[in-house]
Amino acid sequence: MALISGRVLALDVGKKRVGLAVTDPLGLTAQGLPTLHRGRVREDFDFLVRLCTEYQVTRLLIGRPLHLSGDESRQAQYTDEFGLRLSELTHIPVTYLDERLTSVQATRMLRDVGSSTDRRTGAVDRMAAVLLLQNYLEKQEFAEDRVD
């Protein structure tokens, strides 16, 4: 398997919280980061820019929430604008990935391990970002396998 060049930061963007996950330095695994609880827009972006610098991020991965039919949702438009702005601020390319059902899957996983509803609030966003990043890494690995 070819390694991904640099670290990827995955974001599960919401209006109240942003779930975050980053690849390890070799680009093999996804690691959850503390959830960003949204405040002022400028402060949120400043935090994310610092995070990209700290982790030496070379690609942004942003979950794109589509309807089950595949049609674009209003949240998808918001997410696109968020990703474009973050990419402009960091000069890091952004990739969007369909995130349908990642939050549902994250909620089920946390419920299955006995996490209380109160403790799940930010954890769901973080887990959704981890799942998004794992899906991306698997797609990269599959693409590499097909080329070889």
SS (H, E, C) the chain: CCCCCCEEEEEEECCCEEEEEEECCCCCCEEEEEEEECCCHHHHHHHHHHHHHHCCEEEEEEEECECCCCCECHHHHHHHHHHHHHHHHHCCCEEEEECCCHHHHHHHHHHHCCCCHHHHHHHHHHHHHHHHHHHHHHHHHHHHHHHC
Contact 131, 102 (CB under 8 A): yes
The residues with which 22 forms a beta bridge, in sequence order, are: 9, 31
111 or 136, greater pLDDT = 136
Residues 70-114 pLDDT 10s: 677 788 899 999 999 999 999 999 999 887 655 555 455 555 555
Residue 6 is given by DSSP the state S
| Residues contacting residue 47 through CB under 8 Å, at least 6 positions apart | 36
Question: What is residue 82's predicted lDDT score, i.e. its pLDDT?
Answer: 97
Q: Across the chain, what does the average pLDDT equal?
A: 83
10 or 27, greater pLDDT = 10
Residues 19-40 pLDDT 10s: 999 999 988 999 999 999 999 9
The CATH fold assigned to 7-147 is: Nucleotidyltransferase; domain 5 (3.30.420)
Q: Would the pTM count as exceeding 0.85?
A: no
